[in-house]
Amino acid sequence: MLKEEAYSRILELRGILEENSRRYYVDNAPTMSDYEYDQLMHELEALEADFPEFASADSPTSKVGSDLETSSESSGREFVQRPHRYPMLSLGNTYSIAEVEEFSARADRTLGTSFSYCCELKFDGTAICLTYRNGRLVQALTRGDGIVGDDVTRNALQISNVPRVLKGDYPEEFEIRGEVLMPYDAFDKLNALRALDDEQPFANPRNAASGSLKLANPDEVAMRGLWCTLYHIPAQSLDFESHDEALRAAESWGLPVSHDRRLCRNISEIKDFIDYWDVHRKDLPFATDGVVIKINEMAYQRALGFTSKSPRWAVAYKFKAEQAITPVLSIDYQVGRTGAITPVANLEPVLLSGTMVKRATLVNEDQIRMLDIHEGDYVYVEKGGEIIPKITAVDLSRRKPGARVPSFPSVCPDCGTPLVRAEDEAKWFCPNSDGCPMQIKGELLHFCSRKAMDILAGEATIDQLFSLGIARTPADLYDLKPVQLLGMDGWKEKSITRFLSSIEKSKVVPFERVLFALGIRYVGETTAKTVARYFGSLDSVAQADEDALKQVPDIGNVCARSIYEYFRDKKHMDEIDRLRAHGLNFSLEQSASATSSDALAGKTIVISGTFAHSRDELKALVEKHGGKSSGSVSGKTSFLLAGEKPGPEKIRKCEELGIPVISEEDFFSMIPHETVPGRIENASFSQLSLF
């Protein structure tokens, strides 16, 4: 590979891995399997080894995935970040027994003496570090970025098997690390409740556990059925001869330590342990995704040391994805918001990795042909990384005589328009973007989504608006009047007021999210942010030619052409003009520095707690009125804007420094009334314009 090609691929891999790391650790909504992520990580490691001049301390290969929530303010959650006493690193992992053998051989060569291994299950949860002082739990931190973690002590105290007080002959102070899990039963109950509330279900127990540990309300954490298992006392924290001895001591103090571990003397015994649990993990009440092999003797752990990212004395062997076999009952063809036609196999329900799988995406027509799926075939289904169900093969021995090949539609299953397929595309598309109901509704749903305009409209609301003919484009949403919504099934005064309020609030959404909301093909959340920051305004993006667009970092030919063609379409520009007339932010300057007044000029404001408005809206208001928003209290802080349950550390520091603490209502009284987003919330229904 040429140096230029290598550098380009390294940058691409870093971007993909960082984006998916955020989705995994922060959003708890992964879109890539563990296996796919690990393979890309290994590719990046190999390229950086071959081209060391491109190595970087900021590369995903040099740092652990971070669960620190840089955007947690918008969700109303806030956790104080505290440093780890000892770095909390991640484990190197492999799917290959040969690489486990290499790990063992390296340890042999380095240590030059006999030693033992402690083999344990690799639990599929979210990492936690507990500190006990004088027998009491005083601190619980998430892994964070390995250097600092979020303080979730109040939530950890709600986990039923985490002791508040220890027993026996415990040390004066120590820390112990492990995993917070959600058992399958609790996971199923949680997703059933979310379904009743029309909320998106969690993808798997690991995501549910991580999301639950970061809830703002500890009482709700207590209802989630979380479980904890502990597996590591840092060698610097306490002086034990071996890892196994440390865990046995922890168990005697009343701590929840896993019993499913074994001392092994050689690679053969390690393989036996792996083979046993590859089969019997299915009998466990919680998710596991592999086996961890550790050098048992603490002195040898210290001798082997660490890399910047992981210990040299441990490795994780990850199980291959679990498989099941089940018949295909039928195949549906879904129409996405861009017109892409995606086949989805409806399966006879089958238990896989602790959840019932009923559907599996087939991606496109080529995959149906590649797999040679016939109607009624028995297929092998697996969860890559135990997240996303996918069909991997067909059991040809069980195919019935005369089974028919599914016929991929030639016309749109929703509007009947003949499908098209470009030469360089794998998917078929419906070109009727202006008249295809599923595309229109998909575009509206995307525009209203939380990461776009954050308007309170799910699928059911969009369906009703579309069916009544009162919303066919995003701009139509801003023309809605209460009288038009009165006829919608189940809608009353309060729901109408909340919905219209969310539309009004969306007008302060920053430019990069507005650009994302437009739904330009190939322009995802990250790309929209990059383009917005490069050009600064929608007008500049619209006027750019393809060559100018290609100059934007990480924008390739296909994306550049898509953006260019979008702004050459008259109907798109007409829609943009309507949105502009409604006051949406179409520039960074408009978003960040369009000052409405100088009411807050020279003031530095810290925002903490849960509010009726989102943190992003409050920060935008601070900036609009000449103020500056800060994340921490200091002598320069003018006042603390406190909602419900503000951070206790911030309140304490304000008291120490004599800094005023004001309410949300007090804050609104300081700025011009007409600039407050969503003031419609505070109006009575009778005061709203019905016409």
Active-site residues, by number, are 122
Q: What are phi and psi of 499, to 5 degrees?
A: -65, -50
Phi, psi of 439 (to 5 degrees): -70, -45
Determine the Cα–Cα distance for residues 672 and 219; give it in Å rounded to an integer: 38
Take residue 515 and report the two structure tokens written for it: 């650009």
Q: Extract the tokens encoding 516.
A: 């994302």
Residue 199: name the closest of 658, 513, 208, 296 by CA. Answer: 208
HSE of 368, CA atoms in CB hemisphere, 13 A: 26
CA distance 378 to 288: 27
Specify the DSSP class assigned to residue 420. B
Strands 323-335, 341-352: pairing is antiparallel
**What is the spatial distance between Cα 210 and Cα 30, in angstroms, rounded to a whole number?**
12
Residues 6+ apart with CB under 8 A from 627: 600, 601, 602, 603, 604, 605, 638
Sign of the CA dihedral running 28, 31, 36, 42: negative
For 556, residues 6+ apart whose C-beta sits below 8 A from its C-beta are 550
The tokens for 121 are: 């299950």
Q: Which residue has the tokens 């970092």?
A: 553
Please name the residues in contact with 265: beta carbons below 8 A apart, sequence gap of 6 or more. 116, 117
Which is it for strands 639-642 and 661-662: parallel, antiparallel or unpaired? parallel
DSSP letters of 584-624?
Answer: ---BHHHHHH--S-STTTT-EEEEESB-SS-HHHHHHHHHH
Cβ–Cβ < 8 Å for 605, 628: yes
Q: How many residues are listed for the chain in this entry? A: 691
CA–CA gap between residue 690 and residue 423 (Å, rounded)? 51
d(C-alpha 176, C-alpha 248), whole Å = 13
CA distance 286 to 284: 5
Number of Cβ atoms within 10 Å of the Cβ of 8: 14
User: Is residue 390 within 8 Å of 361, Cβ to Cβ?
Assistant: yes
614 phi and psi, to 5 degrees?
Answer: -75, 160
Whole-angstrom distance between the N-terminal and C-terminal Cα of the chain?
65
CA 29 – CA 690 distance, rounded (Å): 40
